Amino acid sequence: MKNLYLFLFACVLSTGVFAQDNFFGMTYNMAVPLGESADFIDKYSWGAMGLEWKKMTNENVAVGVNLSWQIFSQKVDHGTIEIPELNASISGSQLRYFNYFPFTLTGSYHFNPQGKIIPFVGAGAGLYRVLQRFDISGFAYDQNTWNFGLYPEVGILIPSGGSADFFVNSKYHYILPVDGGITHSYLNINVGFSYFY
């Protein structure tokens, strides 16, 4: 009986990379802020995560959804920040934060799907929950908005020979302003594992 389980397990792992129709991926996300986001926080982000599900419509094309989280934080000594809602500026030592939560629809095209390395390009668009905060001298200011955003994506998938594979991708997030706020943007570099089923 043990040999039967081992045989069935080996059959599952030996299936081709795009033989299955569904893709589930999990990533560790790093990022650098750009543009107006970098004016508020210019420090590299080493931590967050993403989840992605895709449906292969053929061996090259996939469509799906992506949910992720990116956090930026920085301590600024003797900084000054404008608060338009209060028509005021505040100076002092500050703790600044951005939290981005993209909820996007995605599409991707995979080149050479039977290769040992599979390059792909893609794009995503949807809603971003943007949480901006700074703390200064006992005063905390929060701005939480829903924004529309989009991103192009490039990456490579490295098949393991089984159902679980390794991949690396990069996404340039461009988030449109709302309520007189800033245009947010950042560049992701993500590493992760995917599972085809």
Q: Is residue 61 helix, strand or coil?
A: strand
Please choose, from the candidates 112, 122, 107, 118, the residue with its C-alpha nearest in 3D space to the C-alpha of residue 159.
118
Give tens-digit pLDDT for 112-139. 888 899 999 999 999 999 999 988 877 7
Q: Within 13 Å of residue 168, how many CA atoms lie on the same side as its CB?
A: 4
User: Looking at the domain that runs over 2-196, which CATH code has it been given?
Assistant: 2.40.160.20
pTM greater than the 0.85 cutoff = no
User: In whole angstroms, what is the distance from residue 160 CA to residue 14 CA?
Assistant: 9
Report the percentage of the chain scoring pLDDT > 70.
87
User: In whole angstroms, what is the distance from residue 115 CA to residue 13 CA?
Assistant: 17
Q: What would the 3-class secondary structure string for 13-38 be?
A: HCCCCCCCCEEEEEEEEEEEEEHHHH
Residue spans per domain, the chain: 2-196
Give tens-digit pLDDT for 88-115. 777 778 899 999 999 999 999 999 888 8
Residue 16: predicted pLDDT: 39
